[in-house]
Chain A
């Protein structure tokens, strides 16, 4: 890896819930153009780390940098404007809105004047939403309420919503959980395409080890909130401590 400035970096990130250290002294860095995995047993603090990075949760110790800027105390909408997008483990599409409306709402308001917000979204926004929906195989469902979609389709819509603002890094929280194998292949393919053709950077929380091996160049392993290991997917798979964490405890 050529040494360059990380796109997203955490130094000593620590988050307590009461006495529980959900994330404890975690250091990590994601470089531009990488696809990085974040794995670990249930409850190891992966989602909490995402919440800290996307600034939904305040952290107790440490610092977070995005594009070289300290965002430790930034607001979620500010990091979103800077080009960080994420999806949620528990799917959070707007069920009563149509698929298209869900997409459109993901693009509007970039600090423009209030008056502009009173007008319908622009043609270009519509066009982008349509293209992305086609890309994610949701084009034919555009006018359905999002609540009518299957679990897998909703995950795809979540990814679409994250992509709408054209972010630089996308954090996906268990994008494949509860999804049939064909759709998983689709998601994998789309991530790869976005990464290669548009240079998007990804940080993925995943349980699916094949998915990780196929996509990621590097993987971080969390266990009880601590960074247990980091390395290539191969190294991680053969790391005794990781095997112990995954299988030893059960």
Chain B
């Protein structure tokens, strides 16, 4: 029992190290084979060396190496899962974490896959560049959905006001950098603290009311911010309904350094995912599940359930605020719509589609929602002589797809598949 527990832990660490090593190889290869831009020196010269390799149009060695690594991990994971020897930490690590490693590597490969398929560069304007921004948006929303799921799926707290966190993250970081000339680190930290304060207020005032009333309370709470942000009284500060823009340091500038921003948001999404998984696997997570299923019982077992809900709310608040901060920096601005109900309902929909209370469900849900939306937007269907511009009706079609998914997968895609898998294994 203890040895297998140990193996599990060191297996996880080994899997993580493996992932980092795999990620470094393509960059080191690019460094070794590239040509520095003339006139650059020092670190910049090194970096421009690597760029000369991976920023090329079409297929690049960097992309090829990443793709091969991704496929290798897929095969290794399948092998590790298929053939059970006990006690080998690397194998146990791969069997457990391999699927996540695979998805992570696949996502690191995507910019180069896109560059290759569209004959464009991953670093400069073009098709791949555009799709990277779509994925950045997806990663940011995925963090928001992970946060939503932590509250709704795991702790059983229904909030209709998640946009308050998201929007305040974007507004705080932007306003501080714009008007008070905060350095970006300070602005980000203060923004996250604002998220904590909002969570505490919501928790201390709101958690005493239950169920739907709490949901409505959070909705009203978010609406206050929404109305405030759009109000003309503060027009000099917030730009009212038009919002405002602000300058960000070059390395965080998504227009200039998109590939970097892509990896930054990808890593932060992975971190949020890991954090929630870790939390839910701990005793605290078990208590959160327990109080979702039966709060009274949990209280009688000696748990101050209020504290636990508050912990969940604060953590979810930090994650959602962080997502908002990223959104603000990505767009170099904010407008009242980041505080609007859209940013409450999108994560809610994504969570329902993917599977409430599953780990990967909300992330998958966001991917489906956003990528399908993006594809629909510029699709024109030609049936004989009739041309149907799907792009104009994307919302309608997305709605239909949503309904079909919910009917076919009553517990969300991941939730339903898991249940079927379990049933097949049990029966």
Contact = CB atoms under 8 A, between A and B. Distances in A.
Q: How large is the interface on A (under 10, 10 to 19, 20 to 34, 35 or more residues)?
A: 20 to 34
Interface in B1-22: 2, 5
A106 B294 contact: no
Interface residues of B, number: 23
A56 B289 CA distance: 20
A123 B303 CA distance: 21
A101 B279 CA distance: 16
Contacts of A81: 302
Contact of A97 (B5, B278, B289): B289
A21 to B, nearest CB: 23
Interface in B284-317: 284, 286-287, 289-290, 293-294, 296-297, 299-305, 311
B284 A117 contact: yes
B423 to A, nearest CB: 13
A114 interface: yes
A117 B305 CA distance: 14
A28 interface: no
B295 to A, nearest CB: 10
Interface string B332-370: 000000000000000000000000000000000000000
A117 B282 contact: yes
Contacts of A76: 296, 299-300
Given A105-B290, A117-B283, A118-B284, A54 B300 contact: yes
A106 B283 contact: no
Contacts, number: 76
Contacts of B278: 118
A88 B297 contact: yes
Given A77-B302, A109-B302, A165-B302, A92 B297 contact: yes
B286 A80 contact: no
Nearest to A85: B300
Nearest to B311: A114
Given A56-B296, A105-B290, A80 B301 contact: yes
A110 interface: yes
A178 interface: no
A54 B297 CA distance: 11
A77 B303 contact: yes
A49 interface: no
Contacts of A89: none
Given A88-B297, A92-B296, A96-B293, A104 B286 contact: yes
B83 to A, nearest CB: 23
Contacts of B311: 114
B287 A105 contact: yes
Contacts of A109: 283, 287, 302-303
Contact of B301 (A97, A101, A117, A161): A161
25 contacts: A54-B300, A56-B300, A75-B304, A76-B300, A77-B304, A80-B301, A94-B290, A94-B293, A95-B293, A96-B293, A97-B286, A97-B289, A104-B283, A106-B301, A108-B286, A109-B287, A109-B302, A109-B303, A114-B311, A117-B282, A117-B283, A117-B284, A118-B278, A118-B284, A165-B302
Interface of B: 2, 5, 278-279, 282-284, 286-287, 289-290, 293-294, 296-297, 299-305, 311
